[in-house]
Structure 1
Amino acid sequence: MRWVCGFADDGALARVAEAQGGGDSQQSGRSWEFAVLRGARLLDEIVPAMGGPAGVAINVAGPEGAMLFPPVVGIVADSVAVDAGEPDGGRD
């Protein structure tokens, strides 16, 4: 299973880049590609296009904690949900 990292703002992305040793791309030689889009588009279009189960992790290096959206029915498209096809989407 894959996880897509999302960020609520530029500062959140910068914290992850810094934690990965790439805070200053000129010194590290590493660049960070990103796209700005709405969360619904990420869950409804991008995740299904990845070709398999993928969840979304928001602000993984945030000081107040991350938000995780697992690849389950009700969060991502049923076509890529790991619990699709189970009664009640795998929930009891």
Structure 2
Amino acid sequence: MSLADEVAAAHAGDPNPAALVGEFRRTPVLIPLVNDSLMTAELSGIRWLYAFSDEQELARFAVSRGAAPETELSYARAVGARLLDVVIPAIEGPAGVVLDAGSEQGMVFPPVSGIVPDSVAIDLTEPGKADSRPDAPVAGGAA
């Protein structure tokens, strides 16, 4: 199944966490840029990197945050594996990825073992932090 299909299955209550993370790792996503930096937000001590499945999702998000519909958006493109294995470990402190933020098919990939490298997985390095995540379905089966 595609990433979109895996996300839809998770939202329908039939998740396959390994397949979902695997599809995210293989799929190119768009990461919005703000002043030439990757767009992130912090919630409960965790930095969340925004990623979008396509330009339409990115534009929807930008408009929901006040951008004019005709605004040209800057973004980087990378496969999910690069975000999880290279970018997330390079961010100071705990960090995860939120895919298609604010959409009905949003998904979070928290900084836990099986999603990010063990060296930055908060369930292995920071006991008690693993429950600090946004209200959205979570890859990896945690709820």
TM-score, normalising length: structure 1: 0.77
Alignment match, 2:115? 75
The 8 Å contact of residues 2 and 55 in structure 1, kept in 2 or not, is answered as: yes
| Alignment partner of 1:53 out of 82, 91, 94 | 94
Q: Secondary structure at the match of 2:124?
A: coil
Larger Rg: 1
Q: Distance in 1 between matches of 2:109 and 2:94?
A: 12
Q: After TM superposition, give the deviation of residue 23 of structure 1 in Å.
A: 3.2
Q: After TM superposition, give the deviation of residue 38 of structure 1 in Å.
A: 0.2
Q: Distance in 2 between matches of 1:8 and 1:41?
A: 15
Alignment match, 2:34? none
Structure 1 or 2: larger strand share? 2
Q: Secondary structure at the match of 1:72?
A: coil
* Larger RCO (CA within 8 A; separation ≥ 6): 1
Count of aligned pairs between the two proteins:
83
Which runs of 5 or more structure 2 residues have no equivalent in the other structure? 1-45, 131-141
Provide runs of 4+ in structure 1 moved above 3 Å.
Answer: 23-26
Alignment match, 1:8? 53
The 8 Å contact of residues 119 and 125 in structure 2, kept in 1 or not, is answered as: no
Amino acid in structure 2 at the alignment position of 1:71: P
TM-score, normalising length: structure 2: 0.51
Over aligned residues, Cα RMSD in angstroms? 2.3
Which runs of 5 or more structure 1 residues have no equivalent in the other structure? none
Alignment match, 1:42? 83
Q: Distance in 2 between matches of 1:57 and 1:39?
A: 11
Q: Distance in 1 between matches of 2:53 and 2:108?
A: 13
